Amino acid sequence: MMHTAVGWHVELEFMEDDQHTRAVAMVRLPDGTEVRANGHASRHHTDANQPRVGEEIAGARALNELAMQMLTKAHGEIDDASGRTSHPIHV
């Protein structure tokens, strides 16, 4: 049996100011489909300005949203192929 190695590259971009961090996560699938998701973090005015922490929170939220979109996409493909409604896919 031959195994095929498949890889996905996920890109994360951040836009920041002193109070807010926005992250965009994107994955391009082998069929050319791109899935994008957003995440956001806000710094409380009494917290120290730590851009890395904002990036980690916003990035994690974007990746979580990306994961949920991928699960929804896969669920739809299962249903389309089977002609029935499948059970929800859980994380």
Q: Which residue has the tokens 């100011």?
A: 17
> Which tokens in the block code for residue 80?
């389309």
Q: What percent of the chain has pLDDT over 70?
A: 96
Cβ contacts of residue 14 below 8 Å, gap of 6+? 21, 22, 23, 55, 58, 59
**The predicted structure's pLDDT at residue 61:** 98
14-52 residue pLDDT tens: 999 989 999 999 999 888 889 999 999 998 888 888 889
pLDDT range class, residue 88, cuts 50, 70, 90: low
pTM of this structure: 0.82
